[in-house]
Structure 1
Amino acid sequence: MEVIKMEIKLERNISVKSYEAIMEIASFNKDYDFLLPVLKLEEEGGITAEQVNTKLLNKIPNNIMGKRLLDRIEQYKLIEKGSSLIKKESVKIEQNNHSEYLTYDRNDRGEKFVNLLKSKKFMDTYEDFDEELLNSLTQLGLLKFKPDEYDQYSRSYYSQSYKCKPLLISSWPYTPKNEEENQLFSSLESMGFIERVSQNNHNAKSFEFENLKDNNNNNYTLTEIGRKALETGKIPIPEKGLFVLYTTEDPVFREKLIACEPKSENKRQDFEEKSRKNAQNENKKNKNQKFENPEWLKQIIKSLQNSPKIVELDAQNREEIQLLNIEGEVNHSEQSKKISISLKFSSKQSPEMEVYTSTYDKRKKEETKIKSVCQPAINISLLEILKKMVAEHASDIIEFENEPTLLIKFSEIKNNPSEINSGKKSLKIKSPVIEGFGTFNDVSIQNITLLPKTLEDAVLWSNSLISSSINYYIDRDSYNALCEKVILRFKERFDYDELMKGVSSFNELKNEIIEVKDKNPQKYWYFTAPELLTFKRVK
């Protein structure tokens, strides 16, 4: 016979707010996973049409197919033109062009000097430097002299200061980042270690960079979206338009954003008009009435400046979308959805949540319903959730054979044959509250396993089961076999021999029945029938 396991279902309706915004989002489609090998080419020699043709499409290097595929991927914002080398050089030149300081490069003497510094440990001897140079470097703050305790035979122990950093790890030519660095480099110039880079040399490097850019015009590099796609193994296909965001503050959801759907193009015009009116009326409104985005939405908008965000929509069949950009105003929306949840707790698996979403279409005059199954933010075991719901019995709830079990006195169930026989109990709880997760609808908990609290309770319970099991003629051997069968129910919690000693013997039960049989002859028919038939007491 299959054992019925206990489970708890907590249900309630969810408060939902909706917003409208012009957004750029991306959805994921497995049909586009064939693009992933193209993105991986960045780690295998670079993303070029030639690489795509020869490595992936089995075409000749200059086949038009490779270029067309890269153009399409570029439209998806997964790649952009230019290699990573070009990007680094571009940033460097941009910084130099806008710097208020001169640019310097090492001469032969300076290169030897820097290489000598690099060969030293953080704290080292500088006996190969003449005393005058050491004094100059100390005055500039590049080196710090250490006392004799580090070397009793030499006074040439020095440590390098943070000021050495631009000399040791920077790429050359170098432009000072601040006034302190500028003064240092000016002093090093006067000492003959570095020279100013002339404008002609600087222009030559820019020209060299432009040539590099021209020669690599067909090179591509991953965008932030492309890098994320490579990490997750999913290709996002972008779409821009007016979207409705359905959000909730309910703590059982992992994300505030639980559904997202596009609106038609004419609705976008309505939205833009609404945004303009809001801007015109903004000055007339009291500050307390002025609409502000909730803090979590502000944080999402801010984070999108650095990186796209992947969201799993729990009220939309766990569909994944990638938020790329939210433009301009975010307004309240009149769109609505009715959303309810059912949290299921069982001993077999982690908590599971069913989300029921209902949307009414005014034009079609019909309601559509979606059921989504997702992972809730709440992660509490069946045992703990039961303890929270019946706090008055929390100390008597234990885990027994991987199931929550309520320890109970036999006196509490002696008048309930169903609970005695089944060892199961049902409880009705009104408006249960789970700390941190709020209030839920009234709930009925079925099949709570019951066990006797003490050995005495186990004996009383066993005697009751034995007595109720005798519904026919029984001899001593059959009675002993029945006792053994009944107490097996409690042997995992109590000692078998102790239970056998505690239950009524055959003679004890016979005497008990003799005393009560006349009060309930129907129950003890098997005992009274021979008396009635033979007109004498059976002993």
Structure 2
Amino acid sequence: MELVFQRTLNIQRYRIIAEVARTQKRDELQAVLLLAQERGHVSAKMVADELLGNRPETVGKRLIQICFTHKLLLEKESNYYILTKTGQTALEKEKIFIPERGTWEIWVTDDPLWANALIQIKPFNETQARNEIKNQKGLKERCQDMQDIPNWLVKKLQGQIITPLADDRNAEYRFDELAEKGELVTPDANITATLTIGETSDLLFTGKIINKECHYQEQHPMTFQSAWHQILEQQNWLTRWRTQQEVLDVSYQDLSEQERASFHKDYPISKPCLTDLDIFDDTTINNIPIAPATQQDANHWAHWLLERDTNRYVLKGDFETMQNKVTEFFPDYEITFPEQSEFAQQLRPRAYWYLQAPLDWQI
């Protein structure tokens, strides 16, 4: 049995002025950091002599200054620098965060299924903005779209290193500074989250953002036991669920023939809710194992199975074998069956007696 929960993400799109650092592969800076790690410190002269083939010290100083500006190196003594924690991380990942200040477009969501909030980020072309003013709406209208950046979003982004959901390059971004206001524009994005919980829990995001396909999957920590218990509570099924046998007690009268035969039933669930994950769309839980709720339900169910299996000539001894096979489905109940002759009489349709009785009575 699997639990499948789904909903569409609530996505907002802002244009903001921000300082955002993007990871870049900078071999020349990596070489400086590696030298600092190997020697314990580094200087402009060391860089010029050992990395640049005795080029002028000013060239080495420029590389040192870039590393210092990006907080990869810390000045320890005059003209000597040591590796920082940020520099060590950059050396290990072979990527360096390079800050860029400008206007950015960000797509974000407050959906708890995507905890870091960032769906996508792109530099925004101001030429495009001027065209929008000219062709679509005036400056006054754009100003009306300026909104305070929500506190929840600032907390999610400020100072954090994030890989956007829809970034197929798995690039990392660090938000060093965010403006207080941003222009809220139409998101032009539709992404659905599907959480499938069974032996493992898989979270899948699919959809489009600016007409580009988005497909991302990851493992989720929600367990089947936890999710199923919450569903049992919400449906008021706790008293009907037998934990040891892992079956749901049901009434025989509420079952279709297929459900009686398979001992499984599909149940529609309205607005399921999971702890810390909020409300999902209506869903159906398929193939829930079921069992009779009462002795009477068990009797009706067993007799129905026996009747269904009576589809050939039953020879001497076969009827008892058929009964034993049926009772195996109901280990928690004492099932009794009539004698074969009596059961045969019960199975005859009423119309048979309306026709046969006059013949027997010769009337």
User: When the two structures are superposed, what TM-score results if normalisation uses the length of structure 2?
Assistant: 0.72
Question: Where does residue 255 of structure 1 map in the other structure?
Answer: 116
Alpha-carbon distance in structure 2 between the residues aligned to 1:37 and 1:483 = 81
Q: CA deviation at 1:511?
A: 0.9
Q: Structure 1 residues 334, 220: CA separation in 2 closer, same or farther (over 3 Å shift)?
A: same
Query: What is the CA deviation profile of residues 70-98 of structure 1, one whole-angstrom value per residue up to 9, with x for unaligned ones?
Result: 97697476665555x43xxxxxxxxxxxx
Alpha-carbon distance in structure 2 between the residues aligned to 1:251 and 1:74 = 41
Given that 1:315 and 1:357 are in contact with CA atoms closer than 8 Å, whether structure 2 keeps it comes out as no
Question: Where does residue 46 of structure 1 map in the other structure?
Answer: 40
Aligned length: 341
Question: Where does residue 310 of structure 1 map in the other structure?
Answer: 161
SS in 1 for 2:266: strand
Q: Structure 1 residues 28, 291: CA separation in 2 closer, same or farther (over 3 Å shift)?
A: closer
Given that 2:106 and 2:118 are in contact with CA atoms closer than 8 Å, whether structure 1 keeps it comes out as yes
SS in 2 for 1:25: strand
Identify, as 1 or 2, the structure richer in helix: 1
SS in 1 for 2:148: coil
Given that 2:21 and 2:173 are in contact with CA atoms closer than 8 Å, whether structure 1 keeps it comes out as yes
Which of 399, 403, 424 aligns to 2:264? It is 424
Given that 1:354 and 1:374 are in contact with CA atoms closer than 8 Å, whether structure 2 keeps it comes out as yes
Question: Where does residue 203 of structure 2 map in the other structure?
Answer: 353
SS in 2 for 1:481: helix
Question: Where does residue 294 of structure 1 map in the other structure?
Answer: 150
The 5 A counterparts of 1:35-74 are 39=33, 44-48=38-42, 62-64=50-52
Partner AA of 2:263 in structure 1: G
The 5 A counterparts of 1:212-223 are 213-214=78-79, 216=80, 219-222=81-84
Alpha-carbon distance in structure 2 between the residues aligned to 1:47 and 1:27 = 26
Partner AA of 1:255 in structure 2: N
The 5 A counterparts of 1:57-456 are 62-64=50-52, 75=66, 80=72, 82-83=74-75, 85-86=76-77, 213-214=78-79, 216=80, 219-222=81-84, 225-229=86-90, 233=93, 235-238=95-98, 240=100, 241-264=102-125, 266-267=127-128, 291-299=147-155, 304=159, 309-316=160-167, 319-326=170-177, 328=179, 330-350=181-201, 352-360=202-210, 367-374=211-218, 381-389=226-234, 391-399=235-243, 405-413=247-255, 416-433=256-273, 437-454=277-294
SS in 1 for 2:163: strand
Query: What is the CA deviation profile of residues 291-344 of structure 1, one whole-angstrom value per residue up to 9, with x for unaligned ones?
Result: 42211344467x53xxxx212323546945231422545412425133332332
Identify, as 1 or 2, the structure richer in strand: 2
In structure 1, stretches of 5+ residues that fail to align are 1-5, 54-60, 87-212, 272-276, 361-366, 522-530
Identical aligned residues as a percent: 18
Q: CA deviation at 1:411?
A: 4.0
Alpha-carbon distance in structure 1 between the residues aligned to 2:289 and 2:237 = 13
Given that 2:31 and 2:51 are in contact with CA atoms closer than 8 Å, whether structure 1 keeps it comes out as no
Alpha-carbon distance in structure 1 between the residues aligned to 2:309 and 2:33 = 73
Given that 1:15 and 1:250 are in contact with CA atoms closer than 8 Å, whether structure 2 keeps it comes out as yes
Q: CA deviation at 1:385?
A: 4.4
Partner AA of 1:427 in structure 2: Y
Q: Structure 1 residues 392, 427: CA separation in 2 closer, same or farther (over 3 Å shift)?
A: same
Q: CA deviation at 1:472?
A: 0.3
Partner AA of 2:240 in structure 1: D
SS in 2 for 1:485: helix
Q: Structure 1 residues 35, 464: CA separation in 2 closer, same or farther (over 3 Å shift)?
A: farther
Given that 1:315 and 1:356 are in contact with CA atoms closer than 8 Å, whether structure 2 keeps it comes out as no
Given that 2:147 and 2:184 are in contact with CA atoms closer than 8 Å, whether structure 1 keeps it comes out as no
Alpha-carbon distance in structure 2 between the residues aligned to 1:47 and 1:388 = 61
Alpha-carbon distance in structure 1 between the residues aligned to 2:307 and 2:175 = 73
Q: Structure 1 residues 36, 407: CA separation in 2 closer, same or farther (over 3 Å shift)?
A: farther
Partner AA of 1:256 in structure 2: A
Given that 2:21 and 2:176 are in contact with CA atoms closer than 8 Å, whether structure 1 keeps it comes out as no
Given that 1:23 and 1:242 are in contact with CA atoms closer than 8 Å, whether structure 2 keeps it comes out as yes
Q: Structure 1 residues 518, 62: CA separation in 2 closer, same or farther (over 3 Å shift)?
A: closer
SS in 2 for 1:243: strand
SS in 2 for 1:348: coil
Given that 1:431 and 1:443 are in contact with CA atoms closer than 8 Å, whether structure 2 keeps it comes out as yes
RMSD of aligned Cα (Å): 4.5
Q: Structure 1 residues 327, 256: CA separation in 2 closer, same or farther (over 3 Å shift)?
A: closer
Given that 1:7 and 1:344 are in contact with CA atoms closer than 8 Å, whether structure 2 keeps it comes out as no
Question: Where does residue 15 of structure 2 map in the other structure?
Answer: 20
Alpha-carbon distance in structure 2 between the residues aligned to 1:82 and 1:518 = 95
Question: Where does residue 502 of structure 1 map in the other structure?
Answer: 335
Q: CA deviation at 1:8?
A: 3.0
- The structure having more radius of gyration, on CA atoms, is 1
The 5 A counterparts of 1:483-522 are 483-491=323-331, 494=332, 502-504=335-337, 508-519=339-350
SS in 2 for 1:370: strand
Q: Structure 1 residues 226, 517: CA separation in 2 closer, same or farther (over 3 Å shift)?
A: same
User: When the two structures are superposed, what TM-score results if normalisation uses the length of structure 1?
Assistant: 0.51
Question: Where does residue 317 of structure 2 map in the other structure?
Answer: 477
In structure 2, stretches of 5+ residues that fail to align are 133-138
Q: CA deviation at 1:425?
A: 1.0
Q: CA deviation at 1:235?
A: 2.4
Q: Structure 1 residues 417, 458: CA separation in 2 closer, same or farther (over 3 Å shift)?
A: same
Q: CA deviation at 1:418?
A: 0.9
Given that 2:270 and 2:281 are in contact with CA atoms closer than 8 Å, whether structure 1 keeps it comes out as yes
Question: Where does residue 135 of structure 2 map in the other structure?
Answer: none
Alpha-carbon distance in structure 1 between the residues aligned to 2:194 and 2:30 = 37
SS in 1 for 2:305: helix
Alpha-carbon distance in structure 2 between the residues aligned to 1:393 and 1:337 = 41
SS in 2 for 1:341: strand
